[in-house]
């Protein structure tokens, strides 16, 4: 004979009916985890980019007729390097510039007679960086006609894009939470209807609404935890797949796009998924049952 | 103890099952409720165990108006009323012991507090050996005894029973009636709906006749 628990469950198990809910919640959790991880990745990528970009400036010296751009760049680099707040200033050679332009002009490089401006790559001090105006003043003092690009347009765009991605992810999380609440509420009402006779007996022998709700909540906590674990696992698989496809453990090259990688925050997102889904499922079930019961006499 | 004043009841847009019904049951009294099938006996009991509100009129239990009572208060009142349902209403997925102890369990009592009392009661109704059986495996009479045991286990102040002895042999019927008379002796108000004249004779208690939406008192002598 089967071992008896001290107090048998007051609701008959109807596993067959709970299964679709289990999979739907698992899928919702997987999507929520994926958008969480994607938002996290976009955010760290954008901060990596912006800190790269905001720690550097580019100076472009316009050559006047007859000037040698490389010579102008060398003089500009000297002038900028003396400015306080600049860590290093390097004049780019024509060869280096041609390297950078290669993706647009092909391997043969530029025709020799195409003029290129003198370009200086400026690295700023971390703690007290020079401003674009200070560098421009130093260049003007050296008698150079130069334009300073502080990459501000790029960093602003990137920051805006990162904020947009985060807002999107947050919106997706809200919608997914709404879907989870709706589907759990629906399933709870179905579950309540399937056990209406039992619920009525409990009600008539003097059970409080909270007592009846608890019988349902317990079941939905278990379902939420199990579906949350499966969902987080699916999301982790998807993220690992994405990571492998986007380069995985291949040797790091100097790519324009930083590679997707796992972060400690991802572990927190994935690990909290079962807890959050159990909480959402249990609370929804509880509120739904209480609301339905209040409609009875 | 139990009072109804000008109570009317209709289901949906159907005819009035109970009409202008006024009735008072004294504390500690014992009554039978008779009347033709479909007269509304079950409906009247349902009003008294707060399964359904009356369409109009006033119902009070223990001197307290129940129709306007708060939800939580209704639960407190239900816990003082033991009910034997006409169709038993046992939980099919838990055993006899769990079914009988249900009112105690939902009231928050611990198993160790009531386990012995429940076993004793089960023995009294002849189900001592069947305490682990599930209701679907019981005979009609056995189910009825489980339903009765569940109704009396909490020593309610009001006991309502709907055809409680329809499925048992006369000897078991008398034995079960002893549960009700004993409870009544301890002070409970008892109202039993039945068609069985033998049962009424055996207890020798006054009967109320429900017919055409109204009650008439038959008294002990008039049958
Ligand atoms: N839930 C319901 N909805 C609609 N009509 C109902 C409902 N319950 C009972 N009735 C009707 O109310 C009337 C009284 O029914 P009730 O069950 O109270 O009679 P009764 O006196 O208990 O009969 P019996 O002796 O056969 O048990 C019947 O005509 C029945 O059809
Ligand atoms: Mg009836």
User: B2-80+156-220 belongs to which homologous superfamily?
Assistant: P-loop containing nucleotide triphosphate hydrolases (3.40.50.300)
What is the predicted pLDDT for the residue at B156? 96
Lowest-pLDDT choice from A73-77, A103-107, A191-195 = A103-107
More confident residue, A98 or A254: A98
What is the predicted pLDDT for the residue at A132? 82
Parse chain A into domains and list their residue ranges.
2-50+155-296, 63-144
- Residues A176, B121 contacting (CB under 8 angstroms): no
Average pLDDT over residues A274-283: 91
Candidates B75, B94, B111; nearest CB to A6: B111
Answer yes or no: is pLDDT of B145 > 60: yes
Question: CA of A3 to nearest chain B CA: how many angstroms apart?
Answer: 12
Candidates A8, A200, A202; nearest CB to B106: A202
Residue B83, chain A, CB below 8 Å: the answer is yes
Tens of pLDDT along A116-158?
Answer: 778 888 888 878 888 888 888 888 888 888 888 888 777 788 7
- Residues B210, B31 contacting (CB under 8 angstroms): no
User: B219 by DSSP, 3-state: which?
Assistant: strand
What are the φ/ψ torsions at residue A144 (nearest 5 degrees)?
Answer: -110, 140
User: A221 by DSSP, 3-state: which?
Assistant: helix
Quickly state the pLDDT bin for B61 (edges 50, 70, 90). very high
Average pLDDT over residues B89-109: 95
Q: In what order do the strands lie in the sheet with B189-193?
A: B81-84, B158-162, B189-193, B30-34, B207-211, B214-219
What is the predicted pLDDT for the residue at A250? 53
Residue A294, chain B, CB below 8 Å: the answer is yes
Contacting residues of A for B143, CB less than 8 Å apart: none
Question: CA of B91 to nearest chain A CA: how many angstroms apart?
Answer: 6
Average pLDDT over residues B104-126: 94
Contact call for B106 and A198, based on CB within 8 A = no
Share of chain A above pLDDT 90, in %: 20
Domain with CATH 3.40.50.300 in chain B: 2-80+156-220
CA atoms of B109 and B96, how far apart (whole Å): 18
User: B215 by DSSP, 3-state: which?
Assistant: strand
DSSP class of A5: P
Give CA angle at A247 (A246, A252), nearest 5°: 130
Average pLDDT over residues B11-21: 92
Among A106, A278, A10, A241, residue whose Cα is nearest residue B104: A10
Beta strands in A110-213 (DSSP E): 118-124, 146-149
Contacting residues of B for A208, CB less than 8 Å apart: 72, 75, 106
What is the CB neighbour count within 10 angstroms for residue A28?
23
How many angstroms separate the alpha carbon of residue B152 from the centre of ligand 1? 25
- Residues A115, A63 contacting (CB under 8 angstroms): yes
Find all residues with CB under 8 Å of A152, minimum gap 6, and list them.
Answer: A132
Tens of pLDDT along A16-26?
Answer: 667 888 899 99
Q: In what order do the strands lie in the sheet with B56-61?
A: B16-25, B2-10, B56-61, B64-65
What is the predicted pLDDT for the residue at A4? 41
What is the predicted pLDDT for the residue at A67? 74
How many angstroms separate the alpha carbon of residue B35 from the centre of ligand 2? 10
Residue given tokens 């572990």 in the structure block: A267
What is the predicted pLDDT for the residue at A42? 79
Reported residue count of chain A is: 297
């Amino acid at each position: 004979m089967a071992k008896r628990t001290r107090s048998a469950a007051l609701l008959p198990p109807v596993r067959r009916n709970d299964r679709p809910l289990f999979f739907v919640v698992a899928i919702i959790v997987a999507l929520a985890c994926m958008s969480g991880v994607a938002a996290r990745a976009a955010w760290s990528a954008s901060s990596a980019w912006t800190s790269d970009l905001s720690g550097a400036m580019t100076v472009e010296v316009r050559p006047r007729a007859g000037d040698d751009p490389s010579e102008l760049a060398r003089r500009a680099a000297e002038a900028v390097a003396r400015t306080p707040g600049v860590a290093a200033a390097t004049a780019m050679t024509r060869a280096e510039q041609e390297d950078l332009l290669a993706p647009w002009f092909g391997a043969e490089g530029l025709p020799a007679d195409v003029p290129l401006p003198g370009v200086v790559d400026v690295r700023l001090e971390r703690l007290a960086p020079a401003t674009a105006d200070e560098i421009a003043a130093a260049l003007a003092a050296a008698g150079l006609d130069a334009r300073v690009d502080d990459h501000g347009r790029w960093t602003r765009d990137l920051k805006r894009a990162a904020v947009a991605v985060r807002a999107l992810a947050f919106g997706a999380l809200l919608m997914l939470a709404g879907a989870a609440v709706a589907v759990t509420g629906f399933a709870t009402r179905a579950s309540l209807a399937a056990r209406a006779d039992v619920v009525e007996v409990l009600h008539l022998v003097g059970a409080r609404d909270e007592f009846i709700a608890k019988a349902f909540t317990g079941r939905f906590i278990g379902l939420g935890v199990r579906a949350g674990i499966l969902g987080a696992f699916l999301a982790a698989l998807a993220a690992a797949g994405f990571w492998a496809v986007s380069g995985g453990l291949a040797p790091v090259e100097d790519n324009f796009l930083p590679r997707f990688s796992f972060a400690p925050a991802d572990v927190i997102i994935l690990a909290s998924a079962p807890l959050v889904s159990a909480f959402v499922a249990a609370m929804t079930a509880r509120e739904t049952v209480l609301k339905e019961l209040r409609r009875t006499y | 103890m139990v009072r109804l004043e000008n109570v009317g009841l209709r289901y949906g847009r159907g005819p009035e099952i109970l009409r202008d019904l006024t009735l008072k049951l004294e504390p500690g009294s014992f009554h039978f409720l008779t009347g033709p099938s479909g007269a509304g006996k079950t409906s009247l009991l349902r009003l008294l165990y707060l399964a359904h509100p009356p369409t109009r009129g006033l119902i009070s239990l223990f001197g307290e108006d129940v129709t306007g009572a708060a939800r939580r208060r209704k639960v407190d009142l239900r816990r003082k009323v033991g009910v034997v349902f006409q169709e038993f209403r046992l939980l099919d997925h838990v055993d006899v012991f769990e079914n009988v102890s249900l009112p105690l369990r939902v009231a928050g009592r611990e198993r160790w507090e009531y386990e012995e009392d429940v076993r004793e009661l089960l023995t009294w109704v002849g189900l001592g050996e069947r305490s682990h059986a599930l209701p679907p495996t019981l005979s009609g009479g056995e189910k009825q005894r489980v339903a009765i045991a569940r109704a009396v286990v909490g020593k309610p102040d009001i006991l309502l029973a709907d055809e409680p002895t329809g499925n048992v042999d006369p000897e078991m019927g008398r034995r079960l009636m002893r549960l009700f008379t004993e409870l009544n002796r301890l002070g409970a108000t008892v109202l039993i709906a039945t068609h069985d004249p033998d049962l009424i004779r055996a207890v020798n208690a006054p009967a109320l006749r429900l017919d055409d939406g109204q009650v008439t008192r038959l008294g002990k002598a008039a049958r």
